[in-house]
Chain A
Amino acid sequence: MKCSEFLNELTNYLDGALDARTKSELDDHLAWCHNCYVVCDTTRKTIEIYRDSELYELPEDLRTRLRSAIMTKCSEHKKSDPPST
């Protein structure tokens, strides 16, 4: 397997979305190709770091304010356009 072929399958490999035979071919490649091993490992870390990062958390006071505004608008919408029964 060439490194470019490995890279093409990297997303499926990391997501565990490969059949056993293809996965085994990729595992074999990783066992001897240090560069692909590093790319694979650091890509997995990239995903984990972003997943665990708390970027753009919604502060609780803003959250309450937004929810209240949403429900007020929904209530106004209901009054102006009541659901047909």
Chain B
Amino acid sequence: MTLEMVVFGVTFVVALGSSLAMVFARNAVHAALFLVIAQVALAVTFLLQGAYFVAALQIIVYAGAIMVLFLFVIMLLGVDKRDALIEPLPAQRPLAVGLGALLAAEVIYIVFKGIDLVGDAGGEAITALNRDPGNVLAVARVLFSRYLLPFEATSILLVVAVVGVMVLTRRISDVADLQTPEDLPAGAPVKEIAV
């Protein structure tokens, strides 16, 4: 038994355990934290496969940025234990079961069929990348040639996200700025806000 197998075993248990804990956590902040642990564990599995760059991005982008946003929303809006049990989407349970089954089917398919990660299917650059996934230069070669269009499209996606956030927060902040009727001087016009 090599050290890598030990690390993989621990990572596997941590990833699975924290994912389950995330689902069953009653407290929204705890759930977010378990998700962070799962993200870090995933990063370690990327490391074990030699994909250093992807592992670093997994931590910087997912654990370091996206989960911080989650945490911010939970902390800022004061979503505590109570709200976490309310389900705003009525169809979310059957939908979750359906999508879960789909994912499981995909995993089973790959387990039995297998996918060729080091084959020549993607051309020379992809092959070079798959032989040495930790090489940032190889990642760049593929990203800035074969996947140029998706790369540029990402920027448009990010712009859309920014505009969406602006639109959403504008409305909320207008409402937050509103004083309560008692605070307003007599006769002051009451601003109508569409929420």
Partners in one complex: no
| Chain A residues close to B by CB (< 8 Å) | none
| Chain B residues close to A by CB (< 8 Å) | none
